[in-house]
Amino acid sequence: MSKFLIYKSSAGSGKTTTLIYIFLKLSLASTDANRFKKILAITFTNKAAAEMKERLISELNKISTISADYKGGDFVIDGLLKELNTDLATLSQRALSSFKILLHDFNDLSIGTIDQFNHRLIRSFSRDLRLKSDFEVELDEKSLFHEAVQRLIDRVGDDPYITTHLLGYMALKLNDEKRVDIARDLEQMRGLVLGESALEAITTLKNQEDLDFVAIRKDLLAKRKTAQNSIQKKGKEVLEFLAAKQIEINDFSHKASGYGGYFLKMADYPDKTPHCNSYIKKALEGELVAKSAAGHLKSKIDSFSGQLISKLEESIAVFEENHRDFTLSNALMWQIDLIAVLEELSLCIEEICEERNILPISKFNKLISEALRKEPVAYLYEHYGMRFNHILIDEYQDTSELQWFNILPLIEESLAKGQTSMVVGDAKQSIYRWRGGKAEQLIALPELLSPPEDLRIVAAETLRRTSEINELATNYRSRINIVNFNNALFSQLGENLTRLDSLYEKEYKEESVSQNANPKLTDGYVRIDHLGKKPEKDANWDKLLENIALFTNQGYAYSDMAILVRSTAKEGRLILDRLQDADIPVATANSFEIDKNIQVRLILAFMRLAYDRENTPAKLSIMRSMQTIFHLPFEPHLFLFKNGIDLNSYLKKHRKPIFSGLKNSEGIYELTERLIADYLPNSRNSFLNALLNVIVSRVGLNGTCREFFDWWDTLNEKPSVPGSEGSNAIQLMTIHKAKGLQFKVVFAPDIDWRFRAVSTELKWFDLRDNPISTIPFAPLPLNNRLKDMGLTAEWEEDEDASKFDNLNLIYVALTRAEEALCISFGSNGDSKIGETIMNALEQIRDSKLASMSGYNSTDHSESGSTIEIGVLPESEKPETDVVEGGAIEWINPDNEPWFTKVLTAPQIQKADRLRGVRFHTIVSVSKSAEQAKAKLDRLMAGGEITPLEHIELLAMADSLYSDKRFVKLLESSKVLAERELFYNSEILRPDMVLENEENTVLIDFKTGEEDEKYEEQVARYGAALQQMSAKPVKAFILYISPVFWVPVTLNSGAHQGSLF
């Protein structure tokens, strides 16, 4: 019997375990050990897919080796025995058979990401989609968009169309802001071009050939003028009526703020805008004159009251209709240039993709939607090469609309064959709307939200008929006091932040959001520190350090703790500085640009002074940095003399070493090391270590400051210090990174961000049915001005979604804790989260919190209050091993000299070993220096290589592609890339094989010193290639940095001639 299983989970409820259980249940349902090959399991990150595979293998291995005297107690095994109605020996034998086949045919295990599935599907349909079969997937869309922006800007002056609209867009920005960085502003528009929600808008605009922006602007200008005139005319008409009746504005109640003032503002529109305030509403009810007015005035106005009210009603109707038209026309006029620019950026991306034969990953879902979804599922599977009976989707709340509707036909076919498919997810943990995730789909299941016409009827009925909804409501992660606190808080927050009868209210109703606690996990501790109204800037960080000390005193290790923040760029960086000042070791899953560190900024400013002694911004930067680091007063005016700021007087006053500039024959590395020793002698800051690494890699030990800054100042993003794991350090990460993780103690400081972080955020709006707009789609700012444009429903829908997303972000943060949860925040207004949380706590304080175990509330008067639930727990401090190598450690407790640390660090030794492999890979698929650079840029952006490795590999590539002989060979030959050769029972993989009209040429790249042993290896490659090639084979070793060629004599004995 077909089943569509819907598992609605919650934090810590065993979502992954449930999916693995269903996978095993379907795999072991019969004696067919190959059943697992008919299951497609989809998740959304490589990490999640890897974890799922590991869990499956582990469970299969456990079941296959289970002891015959098993007494029960394992959730998975007990469930399988019951639901499959089998005995232990049979279950174990089936698991063993599947396990053996799985290990042998591991590639047939179809567990992966949605993007991997789409990639394989598109590959198999490349001909149908008119794609070249050797296209590459572009994962780094940020770099792709950056290149498109640069290409567009480069055409200014040469292309009149682009020049006109780009200058028009700049004029718009200058009208709103004091400064414009056009490249930066455009790069922030990536979602408006490449986002899933932008695809329909961009495609429609590009396909509408008759779109004349000049004519559209004139049309909008005329409509705006008509609307303005209509409002002014009506206002003046009523004012003339009042004058004719000898009634003055001040005769009415509330004078210019009341009845008469409404028409004055209409006459002055748009410089003044009338509003239907409380006085106007009273006027509509007949209250036109103040109660204290003279009797003759009352009688006079009362005699015309019917006409006056009628004219007010007419005027309000005229204003609202024409104000809507004026506001929308005006907004669209301002956006015309941006629309044209976005369309041109899309065309630039298409050019780049065509030139490089690449396909942006964001195009996958749209391609499948347009070209493949209408085909029969059997046709899809025929091309794909595999056929699935069961579709399992993990983290369903992160699925986009297109992704869901592309997968739905596969689920529908599974159900039509009487099979089982499932989805599992938690809408409350949906925090990736900016990536296309749409949790509303999960809340609505089994109903479909806005399905395409070709899926609407059959799919919806199939899901309804076969669906079975299961709630995973028990929290196996957190202790009972934490569970109870979160139940109370989030049911109240849901009531406060969601509209009645909305999908969002359904998800956060008390019966939906409340979890059952695991009876084995007793006690638990919750601490809420409200820091009062508008607390001091450092109050959150002081409270954080105080709370960390509470737990270390109770025996907790730093590695037991995690600090969760909204952003590493803001509060994350501030926390990092404070923790390092307090000598608290930190590890992170996020990366931080090294120039964000205050100590690095101090050293960089001194380095600038080393080659420009009168650099005033550098001197000010030094003073500002020292103010933060050493708590010195910022008083540059006290040291300002005729020749500028006297920095050494400042340093002398504050007992800091005098700055002497560069010493004789001192290189940049030695200078930097000296500056650190002089001004930060006790620092163990890993950012400084990273700065030294960057210097060595970019300009060497003896380079100059000028050389370094000529490069440094061109970088849009500075090199980053990567996160580290494995040491006894407190974890610092964003809430997004923490999703799916859990920690003994969680600190959530400064939960007081704005509901809307950016008031100028733009979103595409569909205006095809709007009578004012002749533009089918337009990007408009997401603010309450949308209501004035007649887009009230769209604004309210986005407001609801924004509140839901923020609620989810808080939910994810507060449900990571196992044993203790500490949150702190201030109250800074209704537009921020802190005030919302405080209001909710006040609402549940007496009714729910006060009855919880260990409840205690302390009022700190104006400085806020503290609520505690439970008793501060104790923990035995475990012994921890510091993991060496890997990522750079935040804190290096030893006193090893900087020079030794940089040149002997395990991470650098590892990079040396991998350098050759990475270089070979890049060159083997690059026909030019530009292609090699683009691939290196993408690798760095994707985190596969560090900025330092990028610099080094780029230098090697520049050296190779500057060699005329190599370039000439590339131009005259076909590159066969890394070809596998079988020779004497071994598989050989030379770096590069080329073929031209006369020869087959084999090249093996070497990045180290010349060594004769390499010639023997390459000779084997050549001999193997001779067996396959009909043309003479020539083999070479090509050494890099510097480039020189070594011809290799092949085993046949024929010496090689020159190719050039």
Instruction: Report residue 312 as tokens.
Output: 């007010």
Task: Give the lowest-confidence range in 368-377, 612-621, 669-678.
Answer: 368-377
pLDDT of 119: 80
Q: How far is CA 72 from the centre of its chain?
A: 43
First to last CA, the chain: 71
Higher pLDDT, 1028 or 206: 206
User: Are 546 and 885 spatial neighbours (Cβ–Cβ below 8 Å)?
Assistant: no
pLDDT of 382: 67
User: Are 991 and 1000 spatial neighbours (Cβ–Cβ below 8 Å)?
Assistant: no
Task: Give the lowest-confidence range in 58-72, 158-172, 282-296, 892-906.
Answer: 892-906
d(CA 433, CA 431): 6
User: Is residue 991 packed enough to be buried (19+ CB in 10 Å), middle (13-18) or exposed (0-12)?
Assistant: buried
pLDDT of 878: 47
User: Are 416 and 462 spatial neighbours (Cβ–Cβ below 8 Å)?
Assistant: yes
Higher pLDDT, 141 or 870: 870
Q: Which residues are annotated as a binding site?
A: 9-16
User: Are 791 and 232 spatial neighbours (Cβ–Cβ below 8 Å)?
Assistant: no
Per cent of the chain over pLDDT 90 is: 47
Which is nearest to 13 in space by CA: 477, 387, 323? 477
137 pLDDT exceeds 90? Answer: no
User: Torsion angle, CA of 959/964/967/971, rounded to 10 degrees?
Assistant: 170
Secondary structure in 3-state letters for 1-67: CCEEEEEECCCCCCHHHHHHHHHHHHHCCCCCCCHHHHEEEEECCHHHHHHHHHHHHHHHHHHHCCC
Q: Is the dihedral of CA 690, 693, 697, 701 positive or negative?
A: positive
d(CA 278, CA 508): 35
- What confidence tens digit (pLDDT) does each residue in 522-553 have? 999 999 999 998 888 789 999 999 999 999 99
Which is nearest to 24 in space by CA: 473, 465, 422, 445? 422
The SS3 assignment for 877 reads: coil
d(CA 835, CA 840): 9
pLDDT of 294: 81
Which is nearest to 361 in space by CA: 156, 102, 138? 138
Mean pLDDT of all residues belonging to the chain: 85
Higher pLDDT, 41 or 124: 41
User: Are 10 and 426 spatial neighbours (Cβ–Cβ below 8 Å)?
Assistant: yes
Which is nearest to 948 in space by CA: 707, 699, 716? 699
For 886, the enclosing helix (H) or strand (E) is: none
Give residues with Cβ within 8 angstroms of 272, minimum separation 6. Answer: 264, 265
478 pLDDT exceeds 50? Answer: yes
The SS3 assignment for 954 reads: helix
Determine the average pLDDT of the residues in 640-659: 92
The secondary structure of 436-455 as a DSSP string is: T--THHHHHTTSPSS--TTT
User: Are 692 and 673 spatial neighbours (Cβ–Cβ below 8 Å)?
Assistant: yes
Q: Which residues are annotated as a binding site for ATP?
A: 9-16
The secondary structure of 637-697 as a DSSP string is: GGGEETTEE-HHHHHHHTT-PPP--PPTT--HHHHHHHHHHHH-TT--BHHHHHHHHHHHH
Query: Within 10 A of 170 (CB to CB), how many other CB atoms are there?
Result: 16
Secondary structure in 3-state letters for 799-867: HHHHHHHHHHHHHHHHCCEEEEEEEEEEECCCCEHHHHHHHHHHHHCCCCHHHCCCCEEEECHHHCEEE
Higher pLDDT, 374 or 256: 256
The SS3 assignment for 74 reads: coil
883 pLDDT exceeds 50? Answer: no
d(CA 255, CA 262): 10
Dmax over CA atoms of the chain, in Å, equals 125
d(CA 196, CA 215): 29
Instruction: Report residue 478 as tokens.
Output: 């957190």
Higher pLDDT, 688 or 871: 871
Query: Within 10 A of 168 (CB to CB), how many other CB atoms are there?
Result: 17
Which is nearest to 519 in space by CA: 470, 472, 483, 471? 483
Higher pLDDT, 822 or 878: 822
Higher pLDDT, 936 or 879: 936
Which is nearest to 419 in space by CA: 1019, 873, 898, 4? 4
The one-letter code for the residue type at 973 is S
- What confidence tens digit (pLDDT) does each residue in 587-602 have? 776 666 788 788 899 9
1056 pLDDT exceeds 50? Answer: no
Instruction: Report residue 955 as tokens.
Output: 């230098």
The one-letter code for the residue type at 716 is N
Do the strands 420-425 and 3-8 form a parallel or antiparallel pair, or are they unpaired?
parallel
pLDDT of 454: 66
Query: Within 10 A of 29 (CB to CB), how many other CB atoms are there?
Result: 15
Task: Give the lowest-confidence range in 163-167, 193-197, 324-328, 358-362.
Answer: 358-362
Give residues with Cβ within 8 angstroms of 106, minimum separation 6. Answer: none
pLDDT band of 114, cuts 50, 70, 90: confident
Q: Is the dihedral of CA 351, 356, 359, 362 positive or negative?
A: negative
User: Are 722 and 633 spatial neighbours (Cβ–Cβ below 8 Å)?
Assistant: no
CA distances, 796 to each of 110, 427, 498, 1052 (Å): 41, 20, 11, 79
pLDDT of 938: 58
238 pLDDT exceeds 80? Answer: yes
User: Are 686 and 676 spatial neighbours (Cβ–Cβ below 8 Å)?
Assistant: no
Do the strands 865-869 and 525-533 form a parallel or antiparallel pair, or are they unpaired?
antiparallel
d(CA 908, CA 887): 10
Determine the average pLDDT of the residues in 734-738: 91
Which is nearest to 487 in space by CA: 509, 459, 519, 455? 509
d(CA 825, CA 838): 9
Determine the average pLDDT of the residues in 987-997: 79
Instruction: Report residue 399 as tokens.
Output: 């699925």
- What confidence tens digit (pLDDT) does each residue in 658-691 have? 998 888 778 898 899 899 989 998 776 777 878 8
- What confidence tens digit (pLDDT) does each residue in 409-427 have? 889 889 989 999 999 999 9
For 249, the enclosing helix (H) or strand (E) is: none
User: Torsion angle, CA of 887/890/893/897, rounded to 10 degrees?
Assistant: 70
- What confidence tens digit (pLDDT) does each residue in 902-957 have? 333 333 333 444 567 677 767 765 777 877 886 676 566 545 566 667 777 888 88
Q: 10-26: string of b/e by CB count within 10 Å (b at 16+)?
A: bbbbbbbebbbbbbbeb
pLDDT of 430: 94
pLDDT of 45: 85
Do the strands 986-988 and 981-983 form a parallel or antiparallel pair, or are they unpaired?
antiparallel
Which is nearest to 726 in space by CA: 888, 877, 912, 942? 888
d(CA 679, CA 101): 63
- What confidence tens digit (pLDDT) does each residue in 740-776 have? 899 999 999 999 888 876 667 899 999 999 999 989 9
Q: How far is CA 474 from the centre of its chain?
A: 30
User: Is residue 58 packed enough to be buried (19+ CB in 10 Å), middle (13-18) or exposed (0-12)?
Assistant: exposed
pLDDT band of 643, cuts 50, 70, 90: confident
Token match 């810590």: residue? 12
- What confidence tens digit (pLDDT) does each residue in 773-832 have? 989 999 999 988 999 999 999 999 999 999 999 999 999 999 999 999 999 999 887 778
Number of H helices, E strands in the chain: 41, 31
87 pLDDT exceeds 70? Answer: yes
Instruction: Report residue 814 as tokens.
Output: 């507060």
